[in-house]
Amino acid sequence: MAAWSITFAMDWTANDRDIGVLIPEIRNIMKDIEQSSREILTILQKIHNDGGLQEVSGICKQARNLLVPIQEGYAKLSEKIAHQMYYRYHDHWRFGTQRLTFLVALIIYLETGKLANREEVAVALGIKTERENGFHLDLEDYLSGLLQLSSELSRLAVNSVTYGDYARPLELSRFVTELNAGFRLLNLKNDNLRKRFDALKYDVKKIEEVVYDLTIRGLKPHSAPTPQGDKE
C-alpha cells in the first residue's frame, strides 16, 4: 500500500510539473511559431492577386525568410521534449505542424512545380524525418499537410482563369490528379486523413470543371505553363 502511495504521489507530482511548467512553455513556443505561420500564409495569399504568379519568386523568398524563426521555435521544443515523450505532448503542436507542412509544400510547388517530400518539409522546419532521431515530422502530420494543399490549388485554378491565365489550370489539374492517385495507393486508417482525402477528390473535380469550361469555350491552350523552378 505504501509503495502504491509513493508511486501515485510521484505520478501526481510529474503531472503537476507538466501543467505548471512544461505545458505553458510549449504553448508559448507554439504561439510564436503559429504567428510566423500566419505571416507566411498572408504572404503566400498574394499568388491569388492579379499578376501574383509573376512575382512568385519574391513571394516564396519572403515566405522562406519567415521559416527561420519557426526553425528556432522547433529547436526550443526539441530541447524540452525527450524522445520518448514526443507523443505525450504531440497534440500541442500537431495542427500547427500540419499547417506548416501545407505552407512549405505550397512554397515548394510554386518554386518547382513538384510535390514536397517528407524530408524536404522536415528540413524546411528544422526538424528530423524519423522518430528515432528525435523531434520529427510525424508521417500523418505530413500527409495531412499535403491534403490541405489541394484546396489552395483549386482556388488558384479559379483565380487564374479570372485573370486570364488559361494555361495554369491544366498544370494544376495534372498535379492534383497525381496527388489524388498517390493517396489512393495508401491504406488510410486515420479518420481525419480519410475525411481530408474525400475533400481532395472534390478539389480534383473542381479543377477538372475549370479545365472543361475552358475547353468548351475554346480557351484551352495546347500546353501548360512551365513551372517556376524549371525556368532558366
Can you tell me whether residue 126 is helix, strand or coil?
coil
Positive or negative, the CA dihedral 14, 134, 179, 165 is positive
* CA distances to 82, 131, 158 from 90, in Å: 12, 12, 36
- Residue 178 annotated as lining a ligand binding site: no
| Residue 75 contacts residue 126 (beta carbons within 8 Å) | yes
* CA distances to 112, 185, 193 from 63, in Å: 15, 32, 26
Q: Tell me how far apart the alpha carbons of residues 44 and 176 are, in angstroms, rounded to a whole number.
A: 19
Binding site per annotation, positions for Mg(2+)? 152
Binding site per annotation, positions? 152
